[in-house]
A and B are shown apart, each in its own frame.
Chain A
Amino acid sequence: MIQAIKNIFQLGKKEILSLCRDGLLMALIVYSFTAAIIVASNASTDFADAAIAVVDEDQSQLSQRLSDAFQPPLFLPVEIIQRNDIDRTMDEGRYTFVVVFPVDLEKDVMAHMTPDIQVNVDATRMSQAFTGAGYIQQILFSEVQKFVKDNSGDSSAAAANIVIRNRYNPNLYGSWFNALMQLANNIAMLAIILTGSALITEREKGTLEHLLVMPVTPFQIMASKIWSMMLVVMVAALTGLFLVVRMYLQIPLAGSYMLFSLGMALYLFALTSLGIFLACMSQNMPQLGLLIILVLMPLDMLSGSSTPQESMPEWVQKVMQFAPTTHFVNITQGILFRGAGLRAMWPTFLKLFLIGAGLFTLSLGRFRKSVA
């Protein structure tokens, strides 16, 4: 038993030593938790700077007021175009939204004729299009209402006012979310690649076979790879979290770092086991590279780190309950943004642990079989 632990320690130390020799690899690890996070934080997910144009066939006070209602930072300055320009400019992708104020808009409004305002949305702009369409509707309704009220001399206040309080991220900075989700994705990428290819390299160089004639068990070999790579990624990710996310990007982080680290350890346990599993499934490095893409892309894209899981089909949500990324995204958002404690998070921790244990058992079985 003691010997087993010693072996696991020694073999793991070897992994770390040889990792340190590859200067480029070390540089890439540093990059993935510094510059890559900063770049990703600048990717846009919040609704801002939408390109909008107006076709004003009414040229009235009302249409002018409505045009003026589209303000930065949500919208770029409004541009005025002609009706026959709509198709061309939208094809070119110049505007995401083109709002058309029809002739006699103001007149019809005052006459309670309920005129139509047409909003053209470039649906290929995806989230900007869908979010923006909601905003535009709301802006139009409330501006028209105000206009009618002003002109009818009605000085009574609205029946009730709406107050919106965005918690945890009051200004809805997309960069906060992006930075942390990128961290989660890069952890996954690194953990799987490092463990998976460490195993393949040993096999291709013949060192694995040599280990197998020594008093070392497959379990020890696998466990050593898992702990060493967990440690490397954990140190890199936590350093990135403090130095880049907290200090440089100045993103306020709520919650307990200790609890978050525990969550990260569970996450890494599951991912490194997955890395070993993938390596056992592939015969050479090119196959492993492809397998990693095949697994990593859905893990990242469907985890809720880019679009919310609520809007995914039921079956995707169910399947993704078995993905470690889903739970780590919950842990990150829960602890670091919402300040959740263990009382709120324990079911997620438990699920993540069970997934990790399952993957470990599965990989150990595969690994034993592959070396026998």
Chain B
Amino acid sequence: MSNSPSNEGVNIEPVVSFRNLALKYGKTLGLDHVTLDIPARKLIGMIGPDGVGKSTLLSLVTGSHAMQEGDLRVLGGDMRDKVHRNKVCPKIAYMPQGLGKNLYFTLTVEENLQFFARLFGHNAAERRRRIDRLTKSTGLYPFLDRPAGKLSGGMKQKLGLCCSLIHAPDLLVLDEPTTGVDPLARRQFWDLVDSIREAQENMSVIVATAYMDEAQRFDWLIAMNDGKILDTGTPDEILKKTGKDNLDDAFIELLPEEQRAGHKTLVVPPLETTEADGYSIEAEGLTKRFGTFTAVDHVSFRIRKGEIFGFLGSNGCGKTTTMRMLTGLLPATEGVAKLFGNPIDGNSLETRKHLGYMTQLFSLYGDLTVRQNLVLYAHLYQIPEDEIPERVDALLNRFQLKEIEQKLPNDLPLGLKQRLSLAAAVIHNPEIVILDEPTSGVDPVARDLFWELIIELSRKDKVTIFITTHFMNEAARCDRISLMHSGRSLVCDTPANIVAQRNAATLEEAFIGCLEDADPESNKAATESCIQNDETPEEEPAQKGGFLGWLTSKFSFQRWYTCYWREQLELLRDPVRATLALFGALILMVVIGYGINMDVEDLSYAILDNDKTEKSTNYALNLSGSRYFVQHPDVKDHADLDRRMANGELSVVVEFPPKFGKDVDDGNSPEVAYWIDGANPSRASTINGYAGLVHNDWLTNLAQYSSNSQNANQISVETRYRYNPDVASLPAMVPATIPILLMMIPAILAALSVVREKEMGSITNLYVTPLTRTEFLLGKQFPYLIFSMLSAFLLIVMAVTIFDVPVKGSFLTLLVSLLVYCVVSTGFGLLASSVTRSQIAVIFLTMLATMLPSIQLCGLTNPVETQKGAALLIGKIYPATHMLLISRGVFNKALGFAELHHEFMILVITVPIILGLGVLCLKKQES
């Protein structure tokens, strides 16, 4: 295994080679001008403390992060060269750090694997073969139908591995792949990697790991610290150089003096408590069932005050579920759990004050600085105000976080985040600390630091520690450990007794023995898969040359379809979303269709009559007869007018001057004053118009009365409302709601699709797979497009049937325009999604960019041309304006394509602009 690279053929080009490679995050130097050739066809290990640039280096090598300084050649080409990157992308597999970051949680295990396999263009039979082989050898086979989000942390990690192994790459890059994976599965995993390497000789593997026992089996190691490479060589060479007998110690030896100064070998003083001290945690027959699945099956234990109790077990055996029950987050189905002798009550604040909890997944605030996080937790745990700075500083020093106290956890590597989480869990000096894999992904030095603190807490402060771990040397430090499997506790004893009982040499051996006894199946499956591995895997689908090759490198139907397939699965998994979108549109159509009416009626008016003669009364009668006005009690004086108009009661007041009647009779032309509430100008101008008509009416009647002439009216005006002769609000509004709704709803649906991937981390798949941006975006768009068209169709059906607004013009023109329009509106969402990073921002941006323009600027109530400035410009170019004209043209005006082709063409032109911008704004590399 551990051959020196120089022993093998010199003519093999290094798989990765870099010169003076450097990368800065803001002002921080992540990678400090490193130079190295990494030999091909080897299993290369990268070791080093947390946050020294291992992940940074790997993300550069895989091309997921954009380069800054220096040269980097991977698989024989320059990684600055986009053409080369596109070429080698399918040959590199990358598994990023973090529990299942590249997975889709609503999809099942099978679907996740299918997605990756399809991306790399395998046929159905080959996909089946590879998926079965990988899942059998990692123990995931029985869980193929389970959604990835419902897997335990370690199982997610395994699935992530399978996903990156699915296409037998030339270069496999794994960033802490076995973090949080149980020892048995880890062993199976490495066997799997070995067998794949045997079958595929030219594959190189680069692994960053925090497990030194794993590093032992690697061909070649790269030790890193502080953005620099400390040393390289085979494990044996490194051991020899440092003069140590194991890699854990050698690793510590390699570190600079000041970093290892604080490190000393840990000694666990014996536990000095007796039964009399009572129990801190007690569980009796604790059981949790989710439906038919029993996650925790009658688990019992009693933990003394100050005891360190280790919880070990295979992935998905119910460790986290048990912890959640102990914290009161999850009610137990059966059995009792007690803290401090009291049954757990989810609502007891007093208990919570004495409890510290560290979750498996990072659950502090990624957008607060390290210090702000700790201060917040200190406050919430009710540490007195004046002690907080001191306490926080002490913890920052203790966990060596002082230097990064102003950084955001989002930008920190896993190991540092874990330290922060632990610091937050113990900030209030709790009496019980529940730690869910606190040391997963943490480097050996920091792990020892953790343990130093844990031992101190336990022995000095008598804090009870409940901890899960996959590290056997950590398990050995516990006072007692419990081995769990499939929800049951197999043994519960001191580590020494367990080893003795099983006659094993080490705890790991004893542990694996226990597991294999409990579940012979898993072992068998693993062996079987190793046998199967002798088959040679099918060749990777060959890349086509020439023009066709160039074209497929830009756009592959297969990959587009894969993206579409995945996105529609996710949409179908969330039926609530689909229902909301479809029926929401219909409901809104009803509300807007009935609610908005341009015909202003029922305006409240009152009379201010300073005359009170027959003439004024007669005039007032004219008003009360109008269908537009509703009379309110008379206004007494101007003060009354001011008050009642100010509170919105009256829209118009008609005032007759004193001696009105007399002045009319005398031909003095007195003035009738209309006081109109101008707060809403459009209503006010309607009232202006009505007022003129009422006044005219009165004049005519008066003339008729006095002159006895038969035809007082000189003319009659016949107003013909075209396209809507009854002036009904439905025929006017319903065609207009379709463009508005089909702008907002498809846009918001599509908008979240990309940003969600950015927030959840699965966007990495775009960075490191052969997927192009166009395939990615168009693939994502398609399900929403289908969905929007379905919605459009339903809206039209509803308009015609329920609202009785017939399609008078060309139905085909309407439908085709709506199709183009929906491409634009979903494209709009994707564009918003490309430029934003958080889900909040994208919802807000999409709403701002769709709601205001489509309701107010696109001619819904007033023609676009009457707008000014920016409003006019936006109104003119906004797609909803044109769709509105088409919709009203077809519904109301009985028009066809010939009359509407101008609007249609504008929509068509918008498509490439919107989609092009979306693709341009999306980054293919992290930067």
Q: B577, B601, B669: which contacts A160 (Cβ < 8 A)?
A: B669
**In the complex, how many angstroms separate the beta carbon of A218 from the nearest chain B beta carbon?**
9
Residues of chain A with a CB closer than 8 A to B871's CB: 39-44
A238 within 8 A of B: no
**In the complex, how many angstroms separate the beta carbon of A254 from the nearest chain B beta carbon?**
9
Residues of chain B with a CB closer than 8 A to A165's CB: 673-676
Q: Which of B814-863 contact A (CB under 8 A)?
A: 835-841, 843-848, 851-852, 855-857, 860-863
B868 within 8 A of A: yes
Stretch among A239-247, A283-291, A352-360 lining the B interface: A283-291
**In the complex, how many angstroms separate the beta carbon of A191 from the nearest chain B beta carbon?**
11
B516 within 8 A of A: no
B714 within 8 A of A: yes
User: In the bound complex, do residue B686 and residue A164 qualify as a contact, i.e. CB atoms below 8 Å apart?
Assistant: no
Q: B600, B744, B845, B872: which contacts A297 (Cβ < 8 A)?
A: B744
| Contact A294 to B689, CB < 8 A, known contacts A45-B861, A123-B721, A168-B679 | no
Q: B353, B599, B680, B722: which contacts A215 (Cβ < 8 A)?
A: B353
A77 within 8 A of B: no
Q: Which residue, of B368, B380, B724, has the highest number of chain A Cβ atoms within 10 A?
A: B380
Q: A50, A120, A128, A300: which contacts B855 (Cβ < 8 A)?
A: A300
Tell me the complex Cα distance, A212–B576, Å: 27
Stretch among B39-47, B190-198, B501-509, B645-653 lining the A interface: B645-653
User: In the bound complex, do residue B843 and residue A125 qualify as a contact, i.e. CB atoms below 8 Å apart?
Assistant: no
Tell me the complex Cα distance, A168–B714, Å: 36
Contact string, A330-372, partner B, CB cutoff 8 A, digits 1/0? 1001100111110011000000000000000000000000001
B920 within 8 A of A: no
Q: A50, A212, A289, A341: which contacts B843 (Cβ < 8 A)?
A: A289
Residues of chain B with a CB closer than 8 A to A112's CB: 709-711, 714
| Contact A42 to B681, CB < 8 A, known contacts A10-B379, A189-B847, A285-B756 | no
Tell me the complex Cα distance, A338–B675, Å: 13
Tell me the complex Cα distance, A182–B380, Å: 39
What is the size category of the interface that chain A forms with chain B?
35 or more
Contact string, B575-615, partner A, CB cutoff 8 A, digits 1/0? 01100110010011001101111111111100000000000
Q: A6, A114, A306: which contacts B856 (Cβ < 8 A)?
A: A306
Contact string, B350-365, partner A, CB cutoff 8 A, digits 1/0? 1011010101011111
Stretch among B80-88, B132-140, B476-484, B891-899 lining the A interface: B891-899
User: In the bound complex, do residue B851 and residue A51 qualify as a contact, i.e. CB atoms below 8 Å apart?
Assistant: no
Residues of chain B with a CB closer than 8 A to A173's CB: 681
User: In the bound complex, do residue B716 and residue A91 qualify as a contact, i.e. CB atoms below 8 Å apart?
Assistant: no
Nearest chain B residue, comparing its CB with the CB of A118? B718
User: In the bound complex, do residue A90 and residue B722 qualify as a contact, i.e. CB atoms below 8 Å apart?
Assistant: yes
Residues of chain A with a CB closer than 8 A to B721's CB: 121, 123, 129, 133
Nearest chain A residue, comparing its CB with the CB of B596? A307
User: In the bound complex, do residue B688 and residue A215 qualify as a contact, i.e. CB atoms below 8 Å apart?
Assistant: no
**In the complex, how many angstroms separate the beta carbon of B612 from the nearest chain A beta carbon?**
16
Q: Which of A84-117 contact B (CB under 8 A)?
A: 90-93, 96, 105, 109, 112-117
B419 within 8 A of A: no
Nearest chain A residue, comparing its CB with the CB of B750? A286
Q: Which residue, of A24, A39, A174, has the highest number of chain B Cβ atoms within 10 A?
A: A39
Tell me the complex Cα distance, A174–B359, Å: 56
A258 within 8 A of B: no
User: In the bound complex, do residue B862 and residue A306 qualify as a contact, i.e. CB atoms below 8 Å apart?
Assistant: no
Residues of chain B with a CB closer than 8 A to A32's CB: 844, 848
B691 within 8 A of A: yes
B429 within 8 A of A: no
Q: Which of B592-646 contact A (CB under 8 A)?
A: 592, 594-604, 643, 645-646
B376 within 8 A of A: yes
User: In the bound complex, do residue B596 and residue A301 qualify as a contact, i.e. CB atoms below 8 Å apart?
Assistant: yes
User: In the bound complex, do residue B686 and residue A131 qualify as a contact, i.e. CB atoms below 8 Å apart?
Assistant: yes
User: In the bound complex, do residue B718 and residue A117 qualify as a contact, i.e. CB atoms below 8 Å apart?
Assistant: yes
User: In the bound complex, do residue B682 and residue A215 qualify as a contact, i.e. CB atoms below 8 Å apart?
Assistant: no
Residues of chain B with a CB closer than 8 A to A7's CB: 379-380
Q: Which of A307-331 contact B (CB under 8 A)?
A: 307-308, 310-313, 316, 330
| Contact A294 to B588, CB < 8 A, known contacts A120-B722, A201-B839, A312-B596 | yes
Contact string, A209-236, partner B, CB cutoff 8 A, digits 1/0? 1111111110000000000000000000
Tell me the complex Cα distance, A266–B516, Å: 64
Tell me the complex Cα distance, A256–B225, Å: 64
| Contact A210 to B574, CB < 8 A, known contacts A131-B689, A169-B679 | no
Residues of chain A with a CB closer than 8 A to B1's CB: none
Q: A45, A211, A345: which contacts B682 (Cβ < 8 A)?
A: A45
Residues of chain B with a CB closer than 8 A to A96's CB: 863
Q: Which residue, of B576, B727, B759, has the highest number of chain A Cβ atoms within 10 A?
A: B576
Contact string, B367-397, partner A, CB cutoff 8 A, digits 1/0? 1100010001101111000000000000000
| Contact A310 to B600, CB < 8 A, known contacts A158-B699, A160-B670 | yes
| Contact A160 to B672, CB < 8 A, known contacts A126-B862, A144-B714 | yes
B408 within 8 A of A: yes
| Contact A145 to B714, CB < 8 A, known contacts A18-B367, A313-B595, A372-B346 | yes
Q: B691, B720, B847: which contacts A119 (Cβ < 8 A)?
A: B720
Residues of chain A with a CB closer than 8 A to B333's CB: none
A141 within 8 A of B: yes
Residues of chain B with a CB closer than 8 A to A306's CB: 596, 855-856, 861
User: In the bound complex, do residue B843 and residue A141 qualify as a contact, i.e. CB atoms below 8 Å apart?
Assistant: no
Q: Which residue, of B329, B852, B885, has the highest number of chain A Cβ atoms within 10 A?
A: B852
Tell me the complex Cα distance, A127–B686, Å: 9
Tell me the complex Cα distance, A35–B848, Å: 11
Residues of chain B with a CB closer than 8 A to A92's CB: 899
Tell me the complex Cα distance, A213–B327, Å: 6
| Contact A160 to B595, CB < 8 A, known contacts A7-B379, A340-B647 | no
Q: B379, B599, B645: which contacts A311 (Cβ < 8 A)?
A: B599
Q: A31, A114, A293, A345: which contacts B716 (Cβ < 8 A)?
A: A114
**In the complex, how many angstroms separate the beta carbon of B107 from the nearest chain A beta carbon?**
14
A28 within 8 A of B: yes
Tell me the complex Cα distance, A160–B664, Å: 6
Residues of chain B with a CB closer than 8 A to A46's CB: 681-682, 685
B804 within 8 A of A: no
**In the complex, how many angstroms separate the beta carbon of B864 from the nearest chain A beta carbon?**
8
Residues of chain B with a CB closer than 8 A to A213's CB: 327-329, 352, 355, 357
Residues of chain B with a CB closer than 8 A to A13's CB: 376
User: In the bound complex, do residue A197 and residue B840 qualify as a contact, i.e. CB atoms below 8 Å apart?
Assistant: yes
A153 within 8 A of B: no
User: In the bound complex, do residue A134 and residue B576 qualify as a contact, i.e. CB atoms below 8 Å apart?
Assistant: no
Tell me the complex Cα distance, A306–B852, Å: 12
Residues of chain A with a CB closer than 8 A to B599's CB: 130, 311
A1 within 8 A of B: no
Residues of chain B with a CB closer than 8 A to A168's CB: 677-679
**In the complex, how many angstroms separate the beta carbon of A141 from the nearest chain B beta carbon?**
5
**In the complex, how many angstroms separate the beta carbon of B345 from the nearest chain A beta carbon?**
12
**In the complex, how many angstroms separate the beta carbon of B445 from the nearest chain A beta carbon?**
27
**In the complex, how many angstroms separate the beta carbon of B591 from the nearest chain A beta carbon?**
5
Contact string, A155-197, partner B, CB cutoff 8 A, digits 1/0? 0111111111111111011101110001001000110011001
The 9 A-B residue pairs with the shortest CB-CB distance in the complex, in nearest-first order: A134-B689, A138-B692, A42-B871, A123-B724, A169-B678, A344-B647, A166-B678, A172-B681, A340-B646
10 contacts between A and B (CB under 8 A): A21-B367, A25-B840, A47-B682, A93-B863, A121-B720, A134-B688, A164-B691, A216-B349, A284-B574, A333-B680
Sample of 14 more A-B contacts, CB < 8 Å, known A286-B752, A296-B847: A18-B367, A43-B871, A45-B861, A126-B860, A131-B685, A133-B689, A194-B844, A207-B365, A286-B574, A286-B748, A290-B748, A294-B588, A301-B596, A334-B646
